[in-house]
Chain A
């Protein structure tokens, strides 16, 4: 499973820490998701997608 979080984050100009705070996880989790080392739960995936105003499929690819 891959994702575009890093790209979307740089487009929006926010840091990993800021994103982590908004979606209520630690920065380590954001780092792991960006590197595709951790697959987030459906709930977290939705929270991330909603933050970027995108559909879940636009952020995560399977």
Chain B
């Protein structure tokens, strides 16, 4: 199967899942939504197995790396600012939902920074390891 055909089939599967989940939400049917997701996952797995053409290479990986860095650089400060805003705008009402949301967001930001730092250090150690 060519990569073009794979992309076409992937769009079809995504459309199927989206449509089925929309119907499931309207019908208030959780089983239908879960079934749609499972069928979609199985279909994607079956389609991916048949793709023999090269899907990724070093340029795509380089772009993905840069995109990840940009996404991190945009998301983390935005979430941090939002959490500060939520907390400081509700200092007088500390038990409110907005205040709690601010706290949760700040933990999400900290988790992001911690994950980034750990992965960064691991990779740095990997490349700087001294084989004496």
Contact = CB atoms under 8 A, between A and B. Distances in A.
Interface stretch (B6-14, B51-59, B85-93): B51-59
Contact of A41 (B54, B58, B60): B58
B102 to A, nearest CB: 42
Interface string B34-65: 00000000000000000000101111101000
Closest 4 CB pairs of A and B: A25-B57, A29-B59, A26-B57, A38-B59
A57 interface: no
Interface residues of A, number: 12
B54 A28 contact: no
B6 to A, nearest CB: 13
Interface string A1-39: 000000000000000000011001110110010000010
Nearest to B56: A26
Contacts of A21: 54
B35 to A, nearest CB: 35
15 contacts: A20-B54, A21-B54, A24-B57, A25-B57, A26-B56, A26-B57, A28-B59, A29-B57, A29-B58, A29-B59, A29-B60, A38-B59, A38-B62, A40-B58, A41-B58
Interface in B58-113: 58-60, 62
Given A20-B54, A26-B59, 6 more contacts: A24-B57, A25-B54, A25-B58, A25-B59, A26-B54, A29-B57
Contacts of B62: 38
